[in-house]
Amino acid sequence: VRSSDGAIVGEAAVDFVRQFKVDYAVIGVSAIDPDGSLLDYDFREVKVVQAIMASARHVILAADSSKFERNAPVRIASIADVTTFVTDRCTSDAIRLICAGANVSLIEACA
């Protein structure tokens, strides 16, 4: 358990998550790169998110438009690997194209 925010990270968390198959996983990210990479800061947290994504039949990414203006060093996956992307507004034409090409459902709450 990470003391700064109570997040459960690390190999024990990854092993625990891998025991399950779930219908839906809702994930968040720290940043979205113009190439579609989903990014975060903590390698241990990324491993847990990757395990959750691998265990889910449907992956829902929830990220507000500020994530398009940020950067982070650790790659989680591609936006093409999610089923649904929910955001306030998609400010990136490149991300729109990636979503359309990968059949990712793009939901803009403020559009």
CA 23, 27, 29 angle in degrees (round to 5)? 160
Q: Would you tell me how many other CB atoms lie within 10 Å of the CB of residue 59?
A: 22
Q: What is the mean pLDDT of the chain?
A: 93
- Residues 20-44 have a mean pLDDT of 97
- At 1, the pLDDT band (50, 70, 90 cuts) reads low
**pLDDT tens-place string over residues 53-78:** 999 999 999 999 999 999 999 999 99
Please say whether the beta carbons of 60 and 20 come within 8 A: no
Three-state SS string across the chain, please?
CCCCCCCCCCHHHHHHHCCCCEEEEEECCCEECCCCEEEECCHHHHHHHHHHHHHEEEEEEECCHHHHHCCCCEEEEEHHHCCEEEECCCCCHHHHHHHHHCCCEEEECCC
Rounded to 5 degrees, φ, ψ at 28 are -125, 165
**pLDDT tens-place string over residues 41-54:** 999 999 999 999 99
Location of structure tokens 């449907």:
58
Is residue 83 pLDDT above 80, yes or no?
yes
Ordered by start, the domain boundaries in the chain are 23-42+56-108
